[in-house]
């Protein structure tokens, strides 16, 4: 993929209610995700590539955390509906369905792809998380953590 395919959309700001997803993140993968309703997914620019992204996220008016997210059809699970599944890189004590999730997407990690096993998928997600953490430690990405977008709900 050419970087120009999505760079015109970065940074990308999105906000919406956290809804129940497929129930695989926490239970099957051990990596909980917050999911947006289909209306938010459908609001993505038509030429926004599917794949794995990183950036900053905030639940309600709380603290801003690093995040990694999958946008697409999750070929391993053969989803028929496109989704936006966000993993906030923080341990929360409980689910936050119904909360408002605000995100700033800052970069692209890789295209979505299929995997031969659940273990291979989990390993790829863990690698994506490590890449997101590394990228978000860079000065040109850290500055976005204080973006006024996150303060709009406060």
* Of 141, 139, 24, 33, the residue nearest 90 (C-alpha): 33
Q: Is residue 91 assigned to a domain?
A: yes
Name residue 111's beta-bridge partners: none
Active site residue 85: yes
Q: Does residue 30 belong to any structural domain of this protein?
A: yes
pLDDT number for residue 106: 97
Task: Please give the model's pTM, rounded to 2 decimal places.
Answer: 0.90
Q: What is the pLDDT of residues 12-49, one digit of tens each?
A: 999 999 998 766 555 567 888 899 999 999 999 988 89
Mean pLDDT score of the chain? 88
Asked whether residue 83 is assigned to any structural domain, the reply reads: yes
Which pLDDT score is estimated for 103? 97
Which structural domain, as residue segments, surrounds residue 63? 4-147
Q: Tens digits of per-residue pLDDT, 80-127?
A: 789 999 999 998 888 889 999 999 999 999 999 988 888 898 899 999
**Which of 30-34, 128-132, 134-138, 150-154 is predicted with the least confidence, judged by mean pLDDT?**
150-154
> Does residue 152 fall inside a structural domain?
no
What is the predicted pLDDT for the residue at 28? 65
Q: How many domains does the chain have?
A: 1
Partners of residue 19 on adjacent β-strands: 35
Asked whether residue 20 is assigned to any structural domain, the reply reads yes
Alpha-carbon distance 43 to 90, whole Å? Answer: 27
| pLDDT score for 75 | 67
Choose the catalytic residue: 2, 39, 85, 94: 85
Nearest to 47 by CA among 65, 70, 71: 71
Q: Is residue 31 domain-resident? A: yes
E-strand stretches of the chain: 12-17, 34-35, 51-59, 64-72, 83-88, 100-110
| Assigned domain for 143 exists | yes
Q: Is residue 153 part of a domain?
A: no
- Structure confidence at residue 58 (pLDDT): 95
């Amino acid at each position: 993929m050419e970087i120009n395919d999505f760079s015109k959309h970065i940074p990308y700001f999105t906000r919406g209610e956290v809804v129940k997803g497929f129930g695989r993140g926490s239970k099957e993968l051990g990596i909980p995700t917050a999911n947006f309703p289909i209306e938010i997914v459908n609001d993505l620019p038509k030429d926004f590539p599917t794949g794995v992204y990183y950036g900053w996220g905030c639940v309600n008016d709380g603290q801003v955390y690093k995040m990694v997210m999958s946008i697409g059809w999750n070929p391993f699970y053969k989803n028929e509906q496109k989704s936006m599944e966000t993993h906030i890189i923080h341990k929360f004590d409980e689910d936050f369905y119904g909360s408002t999730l605000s995100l700033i997407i800052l970069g692209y990690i890789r295209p979505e792809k299929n995997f031969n096993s659940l273990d291979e998928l989990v390993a790829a997600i863990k690698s994506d998380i490590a890449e997101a953490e590394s990228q978000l430690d860079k000065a040109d990405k850290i500055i976005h953590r204080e973006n006024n977008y996150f303060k709009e709900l406060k």
